[in-house]
Amino acid sequence: MNHSTEHPLRETSLHDALHTHVLENDIDATGPWLVGLADDALRVARRRQRLARAAAFVAVVAAGAVAVGSPQHAHVVRPAAGGTGNTGKVALLSILPVTSSTEAACTRGSGGYTVPASATHPAFCIQADRARGMTDVRVTSAKAGKSTTGGTWQVEVTLGSTDRTRFAALTGSIAGAPSPRNEFAIVIDGKLWGNPSVASSLTGGRLEIVGAFVGDLTSATAHDLALRLDTGS
């Protein structure tokens, strides 16, 4: 056991006993020196006790921080609002047929969605038809994972039965159109998350979100997006 915390009352008892001994035996020459020595010893013992308590408190606080502070982005997709424990806002999905795509950022008030320029791609302005599209879709599940082909991060979204039928009809109606009108815009919270093209009607009720360009999503952004999209239903 560490001597800084062992029997803190023992020093107090020895201190009091030494004082009593000096008083009862009338020790004149060495009495004050012995009493001072006892006082110093008691102060040291109490200081050690305070330091030991402070260290123990810091250790408890540190242990609590480790226990309470869970790792961020733990790669576990849980239900969003309306599910278990997460009260964050559920992200709603819009699937809109693309009407045009131009190589420039959208002008203010145009209603388009700008794809920012990157090291390998210029900026684009995507215009979409909200009247013909599916807006404010609440998906039944969303799961982050890596593509089996390219190894890039993506979010696989599953639609409910009603939206699955609407999605099949929408993709079927644009499948034969020339580019870019055979594309649909994936819009979440007013931001474009992709504009894939289709060659035929998509009847499975599933779509993959990879970002405006393949490779845009990271592990963190993919899991965060899946967490917000997943309604847990």
Tell me, letter by letter, the H, E, C secondary structure of 161-173: HHHHHHHHHHHHH
State mean pLDDT over 64-79.
27
CB-based contacts of 210, cutoff 8 Å, min separation 6? 147, 152, 153, 154, 194, 216, 217
Q: What digits encode the pLDDT tens for the residues 146-171?
A: 998 889 999 999 999 999 999 999 99
Can you give the pTM of this predicted structure? 0.61
The CA distance from 211 to 221, in Å, is 10
Q: What digits encode the pLDDT tens for the residues 182-218?
A: 999 999 988 999 999 999 999 999 999 998 887 889 9
Instruction: For residue 221, give the nearest of 105, 75, 103 by alpha carbon.
Output: 75
What pairing do the DSSP bridges indicate for beta strands 141-146 and 124-128? Answer: unpaired
Residue 72 has pLDDT above 70, yes or no: no
- Position 57 scores a pLDDT of 32
